[in-house]
Chain A
Amino acid sequence: MFLDFVEGPLWYAAAAVFLVGVAWRLAAIARAGLKEDLSVPRTAGAPGAVATVFRRFLPHREFMRPAAFQMVAGYAFHIGLFVLVLFAAPHVEFIEQRILGFGWTPAPHWVFLLAANFAFAGLLLLWLRRMLDPVLRRISTLDDHIGTGLTFVVMFTGCMALFESHDFLRALHMLFVDLLLIYFPFSRLMHAFTFILSRGFTGATMARKGVSA
């Protein structure tokens, strides 16, 4: 009954809120437009935008050492989460049966374990640093903690339900997945989509000014 609800009506409602919300947020950013640049551009903006999107995957050489922790923990978490979401066997089955109608080869169990360990370790370290570092603590808002906490709980309940031994555990996981989908568009979790726009904007603006960003 509970499982039917969270995988049925609530799932569809959450997915709808997620899709519409993300589209609405992206459209709002696009509609905001750009301030007219009256100066003559030194170089074209588009190549600078594309270059910056990729260049920012690593910190500047000057900041490499102070940003090393953020980079290692950040990549551990994000790559781990990517593998978990798209290649865990139960997820591939769910995507095939409920979303796309086709699937792909899931990751072997040892890859799943490795990804889960990287994701959990990275997320915990990043979250703890946010709470312990005096600067990060001051610039963090409740939204940051709710987003991180929901992500952690989704991963945690997912691992609890790993072998799908009880419907209740699967339902618990799905409940938090639904909540995360509903919360996603209205939070900083939107950075999963907006990081490209943000980097691109900075790269294009700087390129027009003739600055290497």
Chain B
Amino acid sequence: MGKKSPEAAGRRRRMMYRALALMLAAVLLLPLVPYAVAYVGGITNPNPGADLWRQVRQRETPPEVRTQVRGVDTGVLINARGESWRQFRMEQLIPWSGWFLGGMLVAIALFYLLRGRIRIDKGRSGILVQRFTVNQRLAHWFMAVVFTILGLTGLVLLYGRFVLIPLLGPEGFSVTAAACKEIHNLFGPIFPLAVLLILFYFVRGNGFRGVDFKWLAKGGGLLGGHASAGHFNMGQKLWFWGTLLFGLSLVVSGLILDFPVFGQGRPVMEWAHFSHGIAAVLFIGGAFAHSYIGTLGMEGALEAMTHGTVDANWAKEHHDLWYAQMEAEGKVGAVPGQEAPASSGSPETAGG
């Protein structure tokens, strides 16, 4: 075999370069052929794969899928309802609930500006009536603390992307959201205990009676005139039953979301998310009103939950039937550490 001439070697090298350039051009240009053909009207579908995935995604009934991966929803290629859930969350739940909660705050502010703080008309008598026991107040504040922690962290998870990113930046929001998620998931299982304590300590006296509907018809006295009430008025009773109803909804849906290890699939999780979000927003809106009327909105109300006692005049004005019952039982003024009312004077005149 003789040695190849330099000319022959140069020809081979040039041929190799041309072949490589041709292959490169083919690799780059061939995928464009369907688009070019489609452009000139040759075929109607430039991407046949899209039909396949469209059918996978928009199927009416799930196809028979066999997979080696054992688990819930492992045979689902595309969860089409996930997009519906995402749209509901982003386009309905978040804006509507935001308007609702904002509207509640505006309504409360307007009410305060128009009505002002509801005072004890006859002033304080200085005579106390025991309204709630230590255990009742403990149940209330335990619920309040757990609810506040869960409510705040839940709101961060729901609205944080829109409200906090402009304030904290993406990194700051990431830290806040991660912390809130852990706290929310961890405090969630304590909430059922709070609901049970509320049920146990407050169910007595929260049954509906005829007088409650009269109270409701008079708008609780806010529209003028006196509205009689027992130990709890209709507003408080509705709040109690609402707490149980929303609480139960939040507990069930929350446990489904918090512990996804009991075979619940995505559809169940999505429904749990719907009901959790809606119940939570309604509950938080109600809590705004409850907190307002229990603190800033009404003189003498907060001490019922801090010290367990109320002023006798407050009791007469807001819960006259209960006050009459307490008076008949000789319990007015019979508060540990407090002096009994003077026998010569009526409660209205006994002190300031």
Contact B178 A121 (CB under 8 A): no
Within 8 A of B (CB), among A113-159: 113, 116-117, 120-121, 124-125, 128-129, 131-134, 156, 159
Chain B residues in 8 Å Cβ range of A160: 178-179, 182-183
Chain B residues in 8 Å Cβ range of A133: 134
Does A189 have its Cβ within 8 Å of any Cβ on chain B? no
Task: Give the residue of B141, B186, B337 whose beta carbon is less than 8 angstroms from that of A162.
Answer: B186
**Whole-angstrom distance between the Cβ of A9 and the nearest chain B Cβ:** 24
Q: Which of A12-20, A37-45, A99-107, A163-171 contacts B (4 or more CB under 8 A)?
A: A163-171
Contact A120 B175 (CB under 8 A): no
Task: Give the residue of A128, A156, A163, A168 whose beta carbon is less than 8 angstroms from that of B138.
Answer: A128
A165, closest chain B residue (CB): B178
**Whole-angstrom distance between the Cβ of B207 and the nearest chain A Cβ:** 26
Does B155 have its Cβ within 8 Å of any Cβ on chain A? no
Describe A's contact surface by its main secondary structure.
helix
Chain A residues in 8 Å Cβ range of B183: 156, 159-160
> Assuming the A-B contacts A117-B189, A121-B193, are A134 and B182 also in contact, with contact meaning beta carbons closer than 8 angstroms in the complex?
no
**Whole-angstrom distance between the Cβ of A90 and the nearest chain B Cβ:** 12
Chain B residues in 8 Å Cβ range of A117: 186, 189-190
**Whole-angstrom distance between the Cβ of B251 and the nearest chain A Cβ:** 13
Task: Give the residue of B137, B175, B189 whose beta carbon is less than 8 angstroms from that of A169.
Answer: B175
**Whole-angstrom distance between the Cβ of A175 and the nearest chain B Cβ:** 14
Contact A124 B146 (CB under 8 A): yes
Does B274 have its Cβ within 8 Å of any Cβ on chain A? no
Chain A residues in 8 Å Cβ range of B175: 166, 168-169
Chain A residues in 8 Å Cβ range of B174: 166
| Distance of A124 Cα from B306 Cα, bound (Å) | 16
> Assuming the A-B contacts A113-B189, A120-B190, A168-B175, are A125 and B142 also in contact, with contact meaning beta carbons closer than 8 angstroms in the complex?
yes
> Assuming the A-B contacts A166-B174, A169-B178, are A132 and B141 also in contact, with contact meaning beta carbons closer than 8 angstroms in the complex?
yes
Does B43 have its Cβ within 8 Å of any Cβ on chain A? no
Q: How large is the interface on B (under 10, 10 to 19, 20 to 34, 35 or more residues)?
A: 20 to 34
| Distance of A124 Cα from B337 Cα, bound (Å) | 27
Does B187 have its Cβ within 8 Å of any Cβ on chain A? yes
Chain A residues in 8 Å Cβ range of B141: 128, 131-132
Contact B179 A132 (CB under 8 A): no
Chain B residues in 8 Å Cβ range of A161: 179, 182
> Assuming the A-B contacts A160-B179, A165-B178, are A113 and B138 also in contact, with contact meaning beta carbons closer than 8 angstroms in the complex?
no
| Distance of A164 Cα from B22 Cα, bound (Å) | 53
Chain A residues in 8 Å Cβ range of B187: 120
| Distance of A124 Cα from B183 Cα, bound (Å) | 15
Q: Which of B189, B308, B336, B337 has the most CB of A within 10 A?
A: B189
| Distance of A113 Cα from B174 Cα, bound (Å) | 23
B residues sitting closer than 8 Å to A (CB atoms) are: 134-135, 137-138, 141-142, 145-146, 174-175, 178-179, 182-183, 186-187, 189-190, 193, 306-308, 336-337
For the complex of A and B, 4 pairs with smallest distance between CB atoms? A160-B179, A165-B178, A162-B182, A166-B175
A residues sitting closer than 8 Å to B (CB atoms) are: 69, 113, 116-117, 120-121, 124-125, 128-129, 131-134, 156, 159-163, 165-166, 168-169
Given contacts A159-B183, A168-B175, 13 further A-B contacts (CB under 8 A): A117-B189, A120-B187, A125-B138, A128-B138, A129-B134, A129-B138, A131-B141, A160-B179, A163-B178, A163-B182, A166-B178, A166-B179, A169-B175
- Give 20 CB contacts A-B under 8 Å: A116-B186, A120-B190, A124-B145, A125-B138, A128-B138, A128-B141, A128-B142, A129-B134, A129-B138, A132-B138, A132-B306, A132-B308, A134-B336, A161-B182, A162-B182, A163-B182, A165-B178, A166-B179, A168-B175, A169-B178
